[in-house]
Structure formats: C-alpha cells, structure tokens
Amino acid sequence: MKLQKVLDAGPGNPIVARLGIGLIDLLQFTTLSEVQVEEMKNCLLGMMHRLVEAEKAARRVLAELQAIEEQVQGSGLVLQGQGRVVEVPGAMNLHDAAAFIVQAKKVLQDAIKVFHAVFGETFKGAHFHKALAWAEKTLGAAHPLTALLREDQPWIAQLIEMRNEEEHPQSGKPFIANYDVVRGDDGKLQLIPPTFFNGLPVANALKVFSHNLLTFIEELVVLSLQEKLVPTMGVAEVPEDRRDPKQPVRFVPVFRGPLRPPGSGSG
C-alpha cells in the first residue's frame, strides 16, 4: 500500500468540506451514469485543489496588508528630513494577488465542465455567457440555474477580464499598484492601499472573488444535480451557524420518503 499527501488542507477547511465532501456525497443520489459521476468527481476535486491554492495566495496578501495598515494606524507614517520625506509602505506579496487571479480563472474553466458532466453540453473555455444562453433556451428564463448564471455574469466577466489583462496587458498600467501616499484636501497625508489596474482595491477584490467562487460553484453544481436526483431524494442547505466546524458542509442530501401509488394511504 502507498499513501501520498497531495493537499495540505483537511475537512475543516470550508472549501474541502463543501466541494470535496458535501457535493461529492450528493452524486450517489442522482441518476447520472458511472462515467458521469466519475467526471463530476474529477471536476469537483480539480476545483477544490485550485481554490485551496487560490485561497492560500489570497490569505498571504491579506495578512500582509492588514499588518501594514495596522502599523500605520498605530504609529502613523514615517517621516524623514524634518517632515519633507515620507516613507511609503511596500507590500512584498502582491505577486500572490496575481497568482490568485490566475487560479481563479482556472477554477471557472473547471466549473463550466459541470455542464458536460451533467447535461452533455460542452463549452470551450469559461464562456458562461454562452452557458446562460443555453440555459435560457433549454431550461427556461425562470429556472434557478438560469437565474444563477444571469446574476453572476458581472463578476465572472470582471474576473476573466482581469486574468486576460494579467496575461496580455492592454491597459498600459501596472497590473497591481503598490501602496502610495498622497496629500488630501485637508493637507493631511493619506495612505492609498494597493489596487488592480482597473481601480479595484486588492484586499476587497480577493475577499469578494474568494466568496463568490466557492458559493457559485456550489450553487451551480446543486442546481444542475437537482435535475438528476432520484425521486426520493432532495437537497437541503445547512444554516451557517449549524455547520460542524470540523466539516462545515453547506449542502446535504435529504430523504423525501418512498413514492406511493395514488390511493395507497399514508401507511
């Protein structure tokens, strides 16, 4: 027997619990073929690995930015030359913010494979606008999956645009600008946090994209699988305050009871 550790995150990590445990557990209650189930497992595990790595990169950036800003709030900016020169703080881990964007797009490229595994529909690349058009035509404009795709289009498009800029710069600006210090209208020095080329604050963008990616993947998978659940099973969401910290799964299978022919009574 051989054992190999390939992920340094356990079931207490929300990404591992919610993608690698919770969603995979739902597969056994669907009418998907063995081939489809295996494809879905590979897809979910791939997204889980990438999202864990993206989150690790984001945490390194966020921890450094928090430390810098707490120090400035506590001690103020460092001035030299009788106040004529200001030391501008510099974040050293901003390359991890770019790494996060790279991994995040790869997560989306994996996520769109759900449509092939469940519905047999193939989209080349993370073209969720095409998936939306397919859902509107096939499932209907009012279907929950269609609604999800429609509502999440803006941030998905923004993330993909940012990855494209990172890979093929077009803006003429640095992909990420480090800290800066400016003098405000009141004459006081102000610390400007790092921003992406499009003006998005790095810290806020990493937090929002991290949250959106995980919840979007979960809801995409659950709403897709609901079309393929066996008649006696459903899916329920565990309230956040009732999730087990050791394994904080969000969606769980629930038993609806056996189907009875009309007139058979309640038993």
pLDDT above 50 for 3: no
What the block records as the tokens of 89 is 């703080």
pLDDT above 70 for 140: yes
pLDDT digits (tens, 9 = 90+) for 88-103: 899 999 999 999 999 9
Average pLDDT rounded to a whole number, residues 146-152? 97
Average of per-residue pLDDT values in the chain: 91
User: Considering the entire predicted model, what is its pTM?
Assistant: 0.89
Q: What pLDDT is recorded for position 260?
A: 52
Query: What is the residue-wise DSSP string for 182-251?
Result: EE-TTS-EEEEPPEETTS-BHHHHHHHHHHHHHHHHHHHHHHHHTTSB-TTEEEEEPPGGGS-TTS---E
pLDDT digits (tens, 9 = 90+) for 201-238: 999 999 999 999 999 999 999 999 998 999 999 999 99
pLDDT above 70 for 28: yes
Q: What percent of the chain has pLDDT over 70?
A: 91
Q: What pLDDT is recorded for position 8?
A: 65
Q: What pLDDT is recorded for position 11?
A: 85
